[in-house]
Amino acid sequence: MASSTRSQALLLLVVLLPALVAAFSEDNPTDQRVLVLLEDLALKSSHSIFFKSLSSRGYELDFKLADDTKLALQRYGEYLYDALILFAPSVEGHLGGNLDVAAILDFVDSGHDLILAADTHTSDLIRDIATECGVDFDEDTEAVVIDHINFAIEGESDHSLIIGDKLVESDVILGKGGVKDPVLFRGIGHSVNPASDLVVTVLSASPSAFSAPPNAVLKSPPALTGTSISLVSLVQARNNARILVSGSLDLFSDKFFKSSVQKFGSSSRSGSGNEKLAVELSKWTFHERGHLKAVNVNHHKVGEKDEPSMYRITDNLEYSLEIYEWTGKAWKPYQADDVQVQFYMMSPYVLKTLDHNGKGLFYTSFQVPDVYGVFQFKVEYRRLGYTSLTLSKQIPVRPFRHNEYERFIKAAYPYYGGAFSMMTGFFIFGIVFLYHK
Amino acid sequence: MAGGGTTSDVRSLVSSLRSAYAATPVKLKIIDVYVLYALTTALVQVVYMGFVGSFPFNAFLSGVLSCVGTAVLAVCLRMQVNKENKEFRDIAPERAFADFVLCNVVLHLVIMNFLG
């Protein structure tokens, strides 16, 4: 009996092994298994182009209703998914299977990715998740982003179908060339903390936009106005988990992907940039782009090969590391002229920009300062859209040993002479003093 | 007039000093020469350091301090063997010299350690 259970488990393991190996790993940072939570299965067809684009790129999409009672992100302590798409803006309380804010944040905290779409009438659950990620949706639950100047004429008379063309300038986030066409947006705005370096606003509203309930007479000025309204934001946590927060669920819809856009006051029509934006942002969020890894950190004295356990002051040393960038399929050498290494003890004593050979090897050489103590080699590389690299390696620096000092220095001969003449002087004086009558 | 007075004062001072010093025992005069020699050597090294810079600073310190130390020890010896000095009446000249030798040995041991 026991042996049959064991063989069954073994069989299961053998069957599951390829799937387990294919999952997210250090060597293959792109996500594989994605859980898509929908509040209505109709979303599956109304947003089919976006999902098709994902599955054609090799993602296994697992569609579930957000209130499905069998929902589980993890089983036996192992996460079942690498990423979560949460297209359920109005689900209240908690998701099915007792998934709450804490469970989703734990999922992110363990390095998994999240795409979160809000909409008009967004529940407190979604707002709480966003707030924990550093994105604050407008507190007025009725409010939507309204723009009486930059709106699409296809939309309703309340001018809530707005046009966003203020995109972040980053090829890493938006793909090569960026998104040229105007992006249709209908939903709620949020604000991000400008001091935070983890959150970056991808799409912000135009200066004439404001966030307020539509068709309402405002008694006080709206809380969010102008370019400080973020429409779509990205978060890259310190563990390099990535989160996409959009104030609009329609932004990902087939209708918006396919619709042509005519801006109020302009006579030309153009296609919408929604498809490009959504697809490129999903590529970034699921680590198909902008994911760096640093390997083979190496340091040694000039002319030597082995890494010493300690350096002496004023030693000349060479430091090198390799940085690769994930392209979605393979690691290719990273190329940049702004990677710096610090030789650090409380403050950087040496700060050097690393040279690179175009094949991913970054290297430099420098002299250990004339200060001894416990130093660190530190590389802290943070660039917009890239995963942050934080490396540090501790290394002690010792002073000269007693027998390492220079001897018989020419410039010191007079001092040696002085000291020895004092000795002979003492000797002669002793004799003269003793034998003088 | 005042200047003339000062000059004559200085002259009488120097001559009285010289006559007083002539009465000093030869043994103390030998010590004085020795002290003078040590201080001159120290001065030469300081001037040299002014030209060359303080690079082997430990060597400079030990060179100069050996001279200064020698001078100080010699002055101590002079105080103890001086018969005019009533303070050290209890200390025999032989004992004073033995102390002097011992201190010099210690001094030069330290100097040799620090020299290079």
Question: For chain A, what's the residue count?
Answer: 437
Cross-chain CB nearest to A412 (options B38, B56, B67) = B56
Q: Cα B59 to chain center, whole Å? A: 21
Q: Tell me: the pLDDT tens digits for A43-93?
A: 999 999 999 999 999 999 999 998 888 888 888 989 999 999 999 998 887
**Of A144, A163, A121, A149, which Cα lies nearest the Cα of A216?**
A144
Asked whether residue A3 is domain-assigned, the answer is no
Q: pLDDT confidence of A19, banded at 50, 70, 90?
A: very low
Give SS3 for A310.
Answer: coil
Domain boundaries, chain B: 25-115
CA distance A330 to A324: 9
Question: For chain B, what's the residue count?
Answer: 116
ipTM of predicted assembly, 2 dp: 0.91
Is there a contact between A91 and A39 (Cβ–Cβ < 8 Å)?
A: yes
Percent over 90 (pLDDT), chain A: 63
Are residues A166 and A43 located together in one domain of the fold? Answer: yes
pLDDT of residue A25: 57
Which residues from B are below 8 Å from A415, CB to CB?
45, 56, 59-60, 62-64, 115
A164 lies in which domain range?
Answer: 14-285
pLDDT of residue A53: 94
Roughly how many angstroms between the first and final C-alpha of chain B, as a whole number?
A: 58
Are residues A302 and A340 located together in one domain of the fold? Answer: yes
Asked whether residue A4 is domain-assigned, the answer is no
Name the residue in chain B with its Cα closest to that of A434: B97
The C-alpha of B94 sits at a distance from chain A's nearest C-alpha, in angstroms, of 9
Name the residue in chain B with its Cα closest to that of A427: B101
Is there a contact between A81 and A108 (Cβ–Cβ < 8 Å)?
A: no
pLDDT at B50 over 80: yes
**Mean pLDDT rounded to a whole number for chain A:** 89
pLDDT of residue A5: 59
Are residues A315 and A341 located together in one domain of the fold? Answer: yes
CB atoms within 10 A of CB A121: 11
User: What Rg do the C-alpha atoms of chain B give, in angstroms?
Assistant: 19
Asked whether residue A26 is domain-assigned, the answer is yes
pLDDT of residue A21: 45
Q: pLDDT confidence of A152, banded at 50, 70, 90?
A: confident
Mean pLDDT confidence for A364-383: 95
Which amino acid is residue A60, in one-letter code?
E
Copy the structure tokens of residue A14. 């053998």
pLDDT at A18 over 60: no
Copy the structure tokens of residue A167. 């995109």
Are residues A57 and A129 located together in one domain of the fold? Answer: yes
CA distance A208 to A70: 45
CA distance A385 to A348: 26
pLDDT at A130 over 90: yes
**Of A326, A234, A242, A237, which Cα lies nearest the Cα of A30?**
A326
Put simply, whether A427 touches B (Cβ < 8 Å) is: no
| pTM for the structure as a whole | 0.75
Last residue of a domain, one of A234, A268, A285: A285
Q: Cα A201 to chain center, whole Å? A: 13
Q: Tell me: the pLDDT tens digits for A194-248?
A: 888 899 999 999 999 999 998 888 888 888 998 999 999 999 999 999 999 999 9
Last residue of a domain, one of A285, A307, A332: A285
Asked whether residue A5 is domain-assigned, the answer is no
CATH code for position A319: 2.60.40.1930
The region of weakest confidence among A22-31, B51-60, B107-116 is A22-31
Q: pLDDT confidence of A20, banded at 50, 70, 90?
A: very low
Are residues A412 and A391 located together in one domain of the fold? Answer: no
CA distance A50 to A85: 12
Put simply, whether A409 touches B (Cβ < 8 Å) is: yes
Asked whether residue A21 is domain-assigned, the answer is yes
Q: pLDDT confidence of A1, banded at 50, 70, 90?
A: very low
**Of A429, A420, A406, which Cα lies nearest the Cα of B111?**
A420
Alpha helix stretches (DSSP H) within A156-240: 171-174
CA distance A316 to A302: 6
Is there a contact between A143 and A118 (Cβ–Cβ < 8 Å)?
A: no
Are residues A276 and A395 located together in one domain of the fold? Answer: no
Copy the structure tokens of residue A95. 């998701």
Are residues A136 and A227 located together in one domain of the fold? Answer: yes
Last residue of a domain, one of A245, A266, A285: A285
Are residues A240 and A143 located together in one domain of the fold? Answer: yes
Q: Tell me: the pLDDT tens digits for A302-337?
A: 999 999 999 999 999 999 999 999 988 899 999 999
Copy the structure tokens of residue A328. 């979605």
CATH code for position A117: 3.40.50.880
Interface of chain B against chain A, CB under 8 Å? 26-27, 30-31, 34, 37-38, 41-42, 44-45, 48, 52-53, 55-56, 59-60, 62-64, 66-67, 70, 74, 97, 101, 104, 108, 111-112, 115-116
Q: Tell me: the pLDDT tens digits for B58-116?
A: 999 999 999 999 999 999 999 999 988 899 989 999 999 999 999 999 999 999 999 87
Asked whether residue A9 is domain-assigned, the answer is no
Cross-chain CB nearest to B67 (options A407, A422, A436) = A422
Asked whether residue A142 is domain-assigned, the answer is yes
> On the CB side of A277, how many CA atoms lie within 13 Å of its CA?
35
Q: pLDDT confidence of A23, banded at 50, 70, 90?
A: very low
Phi-psi region of A373 (alpha: psi -120 to 50; beta: other; left: phi over 0): left
Are residues A59 and A196 located together in one domain of the fold? Answer: yes
Cβ contact, residue pair A433, B27, below 8 Å: yes
Q: pLDDT confidence of A142, banded at 50, 70, 90?
A: confident
Which residues from B are below 8 Å from A414, CB to CB?
44-45, 48, 63
Are residues A398 and A414 located together in one domain of the fold? Answer: no
Cross-chain CB nearest to B116 (options A408, A425, A436) = A408
Are residues A166 and A267 located together in one domain of the fold? Answer: yes
CA distance A40 to A51: 15
CB atoms within 10 A of CB A83: 28
pLDDT at A16 over 70: no
Mean pLDDT confidence for A357-376: 94
The C-alpha of B70 sits at a distance from chain A's nearest C-alpha, in angstroms, of 7
Give SS3 for A313.
Answer: coil
Put simply, whether A435 touches B (Cβ < 8 Å) is: no
